[in-house]
């Protein structure tokens, strides 16, 4: 099983009637950067290159998802170098819609080599200049 990634997110905490403060909290993302995943409903897969602790895209983008399949905002969202049978692209996917890809096949997206320097144990390794 993949090791979880720790991500931070801000939440607002009330101190008094009119005082609020933003507090950073930690949440474990189920999938780490470099993990190859596939979508639960749609026929595409990809490698994770970034994680947002909660939804961080536009409201317009979120509302464009049909309501019956629209994911919650309060969960990690993953940026993927994605591929399907026809093309490669960048995808933004909620944690609830991802599953581990167990095919062992590399991802053919052309930008994979700009962020990762190869695979080890079925997972991509970040290039040293991208690790933090």
Question: Domain map of the chain by residue range?
Answer: 29-126
Q: Mean pLDDT, the chain, as a whole number? A: 86
Q: What is the pLDDT of residue 129?
A: 79
Question: What's the pTM value of the predicted model, to 2 decimals?
Answer: 0.79
**Per-residue pLDDT tens digits for 47-68:** 999 999 999 999 999 999 999 9
**What CA–CA distance (Å, rounded) separates 128 from 37?**
22
Least confident of 9-13, 39-43, 116-120: 9-13
58 Cβ partners below 8 Å, 6+ apart? none
| Residue scoring higher pLDDT (117 or 9) | 117
Q: Report the alpha-carbon angle 90-94-97, nearest 5.
A: 100
The Cα-based distances of 127 to 42, 79, 96, 116 in angstroms read 29, 17, 28, 5
**Distance of alpha carbon 41 from alpha carbon 39, whole angstroms:** 6
The rounded distance, in Å, linking the Cα atoms of 15 and 11 is 13
pLDDT at residue 4 tops 90: no
Q: What is the structure's pLDDT at 31? A: 96
CATH topology of domain 29-126: SH3 type barrels. (2.30.30)
112/115 Cα distance (integer angstroms) = 6
* 8 A C-beta contact, residue 90 and residue 80: yes
Asked if the model's pLDDT at residue 24 lies above 60, the reply is: no
């Amino acid at each position: 099983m993949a090791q979880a990634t720790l991500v931070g997110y801000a939440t607002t905490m009330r101190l008094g009637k009119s005082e609020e403060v933003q507090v950073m909290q930690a949440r474990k993302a189920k999938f780490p950067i470099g993990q190859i995943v596939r979508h639960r409903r749609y026929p595409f897969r990809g490698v994770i290159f970034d994680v947002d602790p909660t939804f961080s895209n536009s409201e317009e983008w979120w509302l464009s998802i049909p309501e019956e399949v629209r994911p919650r905002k309060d969960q990690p969202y993953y940026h993927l170098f994605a591929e399907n049978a026809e093309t490669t692209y960048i995808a933004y996917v909620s944690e609830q819609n991802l599953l581990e890809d167990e095919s062992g096949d590399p991802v053919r997206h052309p930008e994979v080599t700009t962020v990762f320097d190869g695979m080890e144990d079925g997972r991509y390794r970040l290039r040293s200049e991208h690790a933090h």
